[in-house]
């Protein structure tokens, strides 16, 4: 099963060459559920994307562990400044440039290559676009089937091309440094290269439902202060953050 953490990472950090012609502005909330043996939903989790033409803010209900290096309460992608801002603590944030994020992704990749539990990254999936369509909210959606080559794990994901998002610098070439995130077995290629956006999905293991997710899309004007840093937020660089982190561990 492609766990939600892999799905979120693919959504946030994968990069392909795409046409940045979107004008969508609004709020998209993804809600994830695990399913128990009785078919009941449990362990609900969610994250929300606040999207404007120049900035994308992603916030979860809980702090997110980034590569076992630090915890973040959210990620602000500033397309106008070409950087990524991770909120690391109350009134504290870390800014990483495009070149910095490339180095960071390489470091993240090295860490995962050394971990024992990398099955979710390495598992090879194929996907098929079906002829099944339906309307989700006001959007036309098409069903895709993701199938593991190793076992019976699969996912049925409904995607739409009716929501165009300006990915800005994410559309620029980033080279081979992000290859581990741009594998064909992850849905990132469909999202950023083909323009598909997931709206709904079900994950299956051994023929049984293991989890589900759904997206609530709200086109709306996003207030400027929502996607800008508050005056009391202290912003550091990645090197400054890591240096201070090492000092705190001593």
Output the pLDDT for position 136: 96
pLDDT band at residue 245, thresholds of 50, 70 and 90? Answer: low
Spatial separation of the C-alpha atoms in residues 226 and 235, rounded to whole Å: 17
Kindly state the average pLDDT of the residues 242-246. 69
C-alpha of 206 from chain center: 26
The single-letter DSSP state of residue 192 is: I
Q: What is the mean pLDDT of the chain?
A: 76
Class of domain 4-121+164-249: mainly beta
Does 6 have pLDDT greater than 80?
no
- Give the number of other Cβ atoms within 10 Å of residue 90's Cβ: 8
What residues does each domain of the chain span?
4-121+164-249
Q: What is the pLDDT of residues 188-198, one digit of tens each?
A: 667 766 778 99
Q: What is the pLDDT of residues 19-47, one digit of tens each?
A: 444 478 999 999 998 988 777 777 788 98
* Low-confidence winner among 63-77, 130-144, 171-185, 209-223 (lowest mean pLDDT): 171-185
- The side-by-side arrangement of strands in the sheet containing 41-51 is 125-136, 139-148, 154-160, 197-205, 208-219, 26-35, 41-51, 55-66, 70-78, 83-89, 92-97, 234-237
* Low-confidence winner among 55-69, 75-89, 193-207 (lowest mean pLDDT): 55-69
Q: Please tell me the chain's helix, strand, coil percentages from 3-state DSSP, rounded to the nearest 5.
A: 25, 45, 30
Spatial separation of the C-alpha atoms in residues 187 and 9, rounded to whole Å: 11
- Give the number of other Cβ atoms within 10 Å of residue 60's Cβ: 17
């Amino acid at each position: 099963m492609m766990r939600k953490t892999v799905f979120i990472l693919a959504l946030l950090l994968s990069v392909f060459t795409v046409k940045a012609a979107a004008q969508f502005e609004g709020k998209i909330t993804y809600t994830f559920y695990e399913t128990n043996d009785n078919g009941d939903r449990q362990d609900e989790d969610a994250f929300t994307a606040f999207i404007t033409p120049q900035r994308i803010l992603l916030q979860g209900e809980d702090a997110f562990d980034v590569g076992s290096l630090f915890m973040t309460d959210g990620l602000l992608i500033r397309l106008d400044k070409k950087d990524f801002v991770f909120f690391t603590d109350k009134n504290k944030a870390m800014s990483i440039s495009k070149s910095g994020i490339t180095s960071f992704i390489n470091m993240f990749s090295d860490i995962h290559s050394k971990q024992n539990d990398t099955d979710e990254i390495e598992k090879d999936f194929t996907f098929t676009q079906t002829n099944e369509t339906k309307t989700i909210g006001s959007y036309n959606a098409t069903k895709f089937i993701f199938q593991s080559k190793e076992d019976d794990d699969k996912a049925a994901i409904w995607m739409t091309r009716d929501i165009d998002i300006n990915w800005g610098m994410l559309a620029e070439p980033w080279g081979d440094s992000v290859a581990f995130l741009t594998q064909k077995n992850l849905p990132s290629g469909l999202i950023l290269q083909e323009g598909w956006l997931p709206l709904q999905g079900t994950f299956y293991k051994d023929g049984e439902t293991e989890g589900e997710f759904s997206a609530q899309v709200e086109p709306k004007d996003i207030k400027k202060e929502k996607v800008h840093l508050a005056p009391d937020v202290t912003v550091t660089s990645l090197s400054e953050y890591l240096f201070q982190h090492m000092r705190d561990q001593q």
